[in-house]
């Protein structure tokens, strides 16, 4: 194999430029740290912004359905649905209509925050159960 | 107006009837039932969520996830299959290949070999941003791992003339995954040293066969990728869930019928119990988890109206089988982190806009 022909020396890794801050080694591996999220608001039908459609880029049913569910859990939301307009375009559209107390964008922001909190609870519960399972197994062996 | 216990139980079960399923859609949304509050409540979720581990081998996990909606459970499953990043051979430079396996076929086989190495070391790796004009220009020790495969087959002159086994007649008559050797670049020798060296998970995968005079001499570049891009990057062999089966006996099933009832299910699902006082035989369900929901019991007229089959809507029996780069439990936690990361990213973008 030709020695270092194909691989030049690595440049000094610039943590700030890569967008990571204080990465803790004990945290679970998270290789998607760069924020490449792209979202646009499609035309709104009402003046008070209570109804709107959003287009998520590079998202699919994974985020779409989970987000739809948690936004529908919001009592101020009248309707929420998502669709993938064309299977060969990596885009996901989401429609949100509220009763008018909040804007559709606020409902979306709230939904994302709720889903984030849900993930934390699932992580905590899983880690706790794993600990319990491991200690129980150790006791059974001893 | 609180719903009755029976009503709550009914809502939890997806009905499985002889020719149809019933009560399929979740209804736990605000405004669906008058006077009932189904709004999102983090503390209530924290209390109601349950996880029970049933099998915990490094590469094979089975656990119950109870109290989430199918949309969330499905997000975890989909992320496990297609969005948790792993390392795999992506570019193959064939310096010499005189084996009968064609270059492109060998390259395809190499790509599918699962790799493992120091897990802390993998945290140092970054995505390789592809530049179609200059494929190798962006490669650094932060995003590319180099592996080498150099095997030559020679004759073993020490064997008797009557020997017919190629394994004994020749040296290196087979090329295995264990022959793929890690070639550390830059700081990779610190990150992946000793037992943490990057190597195939399964050393015994047969890659090619050789005869005397033939050789393969190949350099491989491995990069991070996700299953969405190519199945070789998928960190799991399978990640799936099923809903917990439920069998409800509405009227007692006794005597001869009890025996027949038990035989409608796989072993261990139901059993016949004899009443100590009266001596009467009665069928009881002991472990619905083992049921396959074959619906055999619904084919017999004598059980009509006596039994109801179903599945518990929010009880997911998850099974995660890793290909070896990470353990199954680490994979599930990563999947949850990736869903969280999606939310955090869009949240930030929306607050900024």
> What pLDDT was estimated at residue B276?
87
Range list of H helices, B156-308: 166-169, 188-191, 255-263
Q: Nearest Cβ partner of A35 from B29, B141, B348?
A: B348
A6/B341 Cβ within 8 A: no
B23: pLDDT strictly greater than 50: yes
* pLDDT-based confidence at residue B346 (cuts at 50, 70, 90): very high
Enter the DSSP assignment of B29: S
| Lookup: tokens for B261 | 């009832």
> What pLDDT was estimated at residue B128?
84
Alpha-carbon gap: B164 to the closest alpha carbon of chain A (Å) = 35
Domains of chain B: 5-82+238-251+305-318 (3.30.1360.10), 86-234 (2.170.120.12)
By C-alpha distance, the chain B residue nearest A26 is: B120
| Residue B171 CB burial class (10 angstroms; 0-12, 13-18, ≥19) | middle
Q: Nearest Cβ partner of B78 from A32, A61, A72?
A: A61
Q: Specify the higher pLDDT residue, B127 or B249.
A: B249
> What pLDDT was estimated at residue B139?
85
A32: pLDDT strictly greater than 70: no
B339/A108 Cβ within 8 A: no
- Segment B212-236 shows an average pLDDT of 96
> What pLDDT was estimated at residue B250?
95
Q: Nearest Cβ partner of A123 from B39, B333, B342?
A: B333
Tens digit of pLDDT for each residue in A65-80? 999 999 999 999 999 9
Q: CB contacts < 8 Å between A and B, how many?
A: 186
Whether ipTM exceeds 0.90: yes
3-class DSSP state of A51: strand
Tens digit of pLDDT for each residue in A91-123? 999 999 999 999 999 999 999 999 999 999 999
A84 in B contact zone (CB under 8 Å): no
| Residue A36 CB burial class (10 angstroms; 0-12, 13-18, ≥19) | exposed
| Lookup: tokens for B93 | 């430079």
> What pLDDT was estimated at residue B205?
97
> What pLDDT was estimated at residue B137?
64
Distance CA A105, CA B281 (A): 62
Mean pLDDT of chain B: 94
A17: pLDDT strictly greater than 70: no
Q: Specify the higher pLDDT residue, A18 or B191.
A: B191
* pLDDT-based confidence at residue B138 (cuts at 50, 70, 90): confident
Q: Specify the higher pLDDT residue, B335 or A3.
A: B335
- For A39-116, CATH number? 3.30.1360.10
- Segment B245-249 shows an average pLDDT of 97
Please write down the HEC assignment for all residues of A66-120.
Answer: HHHHHHHCCCCEEEEEEECCCCCCCEEEEEEEECCCCCHHHHHHHHHHHHHHHHH
Q: Specify the higher pLDDT residue, B133 or B183.
A: B183
Q: Yes or no: say if B67 and B111 are a contact pair by the CB < 8 Å rule.
A: no
Q: Specify the higher pLDDT residue, B129 or B3.
A: B3
> What pLDDT was estimated at residue A37?
83
B307: left (phi over 0), alpha (psi -120 to 50) or beta: beta
B337/A66 Cβ within 8 A: no
> What pLDDT was estimated at residue B240?
97
B133: pLDDT strictly greater than 90: no
* pLDDT-based confidence at residue A23 (cuts at 50, 70, 90): very low
Cα–Cα distances in Å, from A135 out to A132, B66, B300?
A: 5, 22, 47
A33: pLDDT strictly greater than 60: no
B270: pLDDT strictly greater than 80: yes
The domain limits of chain A are 39-116
Residues 9-38 of A with CB under 8 A from B: 9-11, 13, 18, 23, 25, 28-38
Contacts of B339 in chain A (CB under 8 A): 62-63, 66, 115, 119
> What pLDDT was estimated at residue B135?
62
3-class DSSP state of B120: helix
- What are phi and psi for residue B66, nearest 5 degrees? -115, 130
Distance CA B45, CA A111 (A): 15
By C-alpha distance, the chain A residue nearest B40 is: A73
For testing contact with chain A, the best of B121, B339, B346 (most A CBs within 10 A):
B346
| Lookup: tokens for A123 | 């992580």
* pLDDT-based confidence at residue A49 (cuts at 50, 70, 90): confident
Q: Yes or no: say if B349 and A37 are a contact pair by the CB < 8 Å rule.
A: yes
Supply the pTM of this predicted model: 0.90
Rg (CA), chain B: 28
A4: pLDDT strictly greater than 70: no
B71/A69 Cβ within 8 A: yes
Tens digit of pLDDT for each residue in B197-210? 999 999 999 999 99
A18: pLDDT strictly greater than 90: no
B56: pLDDT strictly greater than 80: yes
Segment among A115-119, B124-128, B239-243, B265-269 with least mean pLDDT = B124-128
Note the residue count of chain B.
353
B72/A66 Cβ within 8 A: yes
């Amino acid at each position: 194999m030709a020695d270092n022909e194909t691989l030049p020396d690595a440049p000094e890794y610039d943590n700030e430029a890569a967008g990571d801050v204080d990465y803790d080694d004990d945290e679970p591996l998270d290789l998607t740290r760069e924020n490449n999220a792209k979202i646009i608001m499609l035309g709104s039908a009402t003046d008070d912004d209570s109804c709107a459609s959003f287009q998520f880029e590079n998202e699919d049913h994974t985020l779409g359905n989970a987000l739809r569910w948690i936004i529908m859990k919001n009592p101020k939301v009248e309707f929420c649905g998502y669709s993938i307009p064309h299977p060969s375009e990596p885009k996901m559209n989401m429609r949100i209509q509220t009763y008018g107390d909040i804007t559709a964008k606020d409902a979306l922001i709230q939904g994302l925050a709720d889903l984030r909190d849900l993930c934390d609870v699932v992580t905590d519960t899983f880690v706790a159960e794993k600990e319990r399972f491991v200690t129980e197994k150790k006791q059974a062996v001893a | 107006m609180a719903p009755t216990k029976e009503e709550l139980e009914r809502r939890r079960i997806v009905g499985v009837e002889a020719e149809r399923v019933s009560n399929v859609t979740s209804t736990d949304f605000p405004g669906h039932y008058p006077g009932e509050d189904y709004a999102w409540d983090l503390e209530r979720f924290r209390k109601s969520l349950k996880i029970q581990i049933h099998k915990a081998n490094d590469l094979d996990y089975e656990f119950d996830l109870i109290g989430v909606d199918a949309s969330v459970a499905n997000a975890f499953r989909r992320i496990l299959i297609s969005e948790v990043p792993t390392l795999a051979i992506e570019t193959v430079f064939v310096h010499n290949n005189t084996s009968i396996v064609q270059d492109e076929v060998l390259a395809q086989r190499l790509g599918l070999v699962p790799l493992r190495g120091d897990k802390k070391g993998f945290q140092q790796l970054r995505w390789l941003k592809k530049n179609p004009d200059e494929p190798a220009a962006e490669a650094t020790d932060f995003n590319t791992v180099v592996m080498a495969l150099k095997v030559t087959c020679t004759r073993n002159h020490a064997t008797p003339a009557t020997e017919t086994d190629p394994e004994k007649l020749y040296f290196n008559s087979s090329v295995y995954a264990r022959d793929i050797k890690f070639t550390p670049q830059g700081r990779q020798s610190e990150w992946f040293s000793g037992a943490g060296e990057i190597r195939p998970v399964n050393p015994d995968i047969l890659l090619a066969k050789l005869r005397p005079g033939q050789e393969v001499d190949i350099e491989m570049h491995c990069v991070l990728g996700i299953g969405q891009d190519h199945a070789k990057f998928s960190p799991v062999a399978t990640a799936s869930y099923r809903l917990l089966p439920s069998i409800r006996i509405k009227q007692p099933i006794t005597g001869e019928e009890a025996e027949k009832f038990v035989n409608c299910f796989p072993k261990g699902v139901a059993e016949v119990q004899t009443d100590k006082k009266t001596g009467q035989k009665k069928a009881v369900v002991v472990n619905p988890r083992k049921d396959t929901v074959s619906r055999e019991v619904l084919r017999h007229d004598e059980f009509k109206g006596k039994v109801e089959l179903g599945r518990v809507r929010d009880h997911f029996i998850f099974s995660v089988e890793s290909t070896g780069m990470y353990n199954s439990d680490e994979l599930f936690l990563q999947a949850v982190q990736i869903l969280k990361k999606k939310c955090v990213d869009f949240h930030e973008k929306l607050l900024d806009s």
